[in-house]
A and B are shown apart, each in its own frame.
Chain A
Amino acid sequence: MSTADADVVIDARGLEPPEPMVRTLEALERLAVGQTVSVLLPREPYPLYRTLQINGFAWETRFRDDGAVEVLIKHQSS
């Protein structure tokens, strides 16, 4: 997975909880198999990982130099 390939990019920095989670969930509801969502956050989203695990998504977390955390998500089957 790479950022450039992401089909949907959600910049959730500067959003108050639970807005980052709401927007991510909404994007995942619409995500087709083979597509990728990139979520930018100010910190590691531990609760999101559990949600992804339960609902059959695969993810990769990257720690950027600017302090942001990027989570790339796709269906496990893709």
Chain B
Amino acid sequence: MQALLSFDQAPPFTAPVRFFVTAPLFAMLAGVLILFVGPELFVSRWTATALAATHLLSLGFLSQVMIGAMVQILPVVAGAHIPRSLAVARMVHLALICGTLLLVLGFLTFNRLAFISAAWALGVGMVIFIGAAGHALFTVSSNNPTIRGLKLSLLGLSGTVILGLLLALSLSESWPLPLPQLTALHFGWGVVGWGITLLIAVALVVVPMFQLTPPYPKWLAQTFCPLALLLLALQTMANLAGWSVTADSLASTLATGAALFAGETLRLQRKSTRPSFDVSQQFWRLAMACVIVASALWMGLLWLPALAEQPRWAMLCGVLIFVGGFMSVMNGMLYKIVPFLVWLHLQNLCRPGEMAPNMNKVIAAKQITWQWRAHLGALLLLLAAATLPNGFAYSAGAALLVANGWLLYNLLTAMVFYRRHAARLTIASENDGQQ
């Protein structure tokens, strides 16, 4: 083989990887914020510091990984190529970093300029990403559920961004908009429209591919993503019309759907042909268990006033969704995607007949196992802090900092591995050329 990838089509190594390496830094910042603010942060999800921490995790960690993953997987699973992917990745990455930091600054200082600048940076970055990914995706036919799901997740992201920009501008310009209602819609579009829709679309491919399970049932693969977006749109309309029972019933249906998907993933995992579960599968198993518990809790918050009156239940639900669910899945996926990318790009540099180093050598299994334990510890401590802030807030902040510092270390190890072997292979090829 002369080459595996044509660089006019495949994204260069640094295009997706820059997002992956940046993500743990934001989660580390969230850990620092918890350490700095202490138990007060866990009093209510409406406090400025809780909103800052939530966006450090949702926008800083999760969206960085999700956008990086989309840049990478569009050509692999959909055959859709983002034109000038490196330039697009650079601009979106920079805008996301600046926008997230400015938004967090806005929450912490209530500075008008910070909110306006955040809205501009995030708005421009997201428009570039949605435009580029949308252009790439809409040039390929929707001949499988993953491609349809990826397209729908871009719609979900668009809804999240529009509502988020409206909220940021309302805060900076003091527009008389119903902020709690808009926040609930922004949360719904972010979690379901963008997060869960993308998660399902990607899971349909990566769970059977990397975990060696049977495929998801056809009915689930065909219906879940379109149904989630349809129900979300109806729920939004019911919410805006003031039909609270209808809106809550639709939200409950969405929560049930998320739990069903998680249950089905756990069932498939049990049919995996792997002799033993690897750490990536453990991350997925933890995430799916958290999704099921969070769904039940979400329904409780919708229908049981006694639960809704106590802010700690909403806080607990948030930790389960963002850290237990999404962050666990992202961790698990990074340990498959990054070593695979390293292998693929090294193989591309190999001479005919030469094979790149084994993918399992890119990040040491022991390091991954220790980071998994650190993540699990951070999750448990954050859940404890959401329930008893005075007892666990500081240890939860420290644990989040450690778990994500470890993730960053593991990802940087992969980068060093790539650079070392890329240099060796390049020198070998040049020597061959001179002879």
Chain A contact residues, CB within 8 Å of chain B: 14, 16-18, 21-22, 25-26, 28-29, 42-44, 46-47, 49-51, 53-55, 67
Contact = CB atoms under 8 A, between A and B. Distances in A.
Contacts of B4: 21, 25, 47, 50-51, 54
B11 to A, nearest CB: 11
Interface string B207-225: 0111010010000000000
Contact of A42 (B9, B77, B208, B352): B208
Interface string B308-349: 000000000000000000000000000000001001100100
B237 interface: no
B5 A46 contact: no
Contacts of B10: 47, 50
B352 A29 contact: yes
B353 interface: yes
A17 B209 contact: yes
Interface of B: 1-6, 9-10, 75-79, 144, 205, 208-210, 212, 215, 273, 340, 343-344, 347, 352-353, 355, 359
List 4 tightest A-B contacts by C-beta distance, closest first: A46-B79, A51-B4, A54-B3, A25-B1
A34 to B, nearest CB: 19
A16 B10 CA distance: 21
**Is chain B's binding surface mostly helix, strand, loop or mixed?**
loop
Contacts of B1: 25, 28-29, 51, 55
A54 to B, nearest CB: 5
A50 B9 CA distance: 9
14 contacts: A14-B212, A16-B209, A18-B347, A21-B347, A25-B355, A29-B352, A42-B208, A42-B215, A47-B10, A47-B75, A47-B76, A50-B5, A50-B6, A55-B3
A46 B75 contact: yes
Contacts of A28: 1
Given A42-B215, A43-B77, A50-B9, 10 more contacts: A14-B273, A17-B340, A21-B4, A22-B355, A49-B79, A50-B4, A51-B5, A53-B6, A54-B6, A67-B215
Contact of B343 (A18, A26, A46): A18
B9 A18 contact: no
A53 B359 CA distance: 24
Contacts of B347: 18, 21, 25
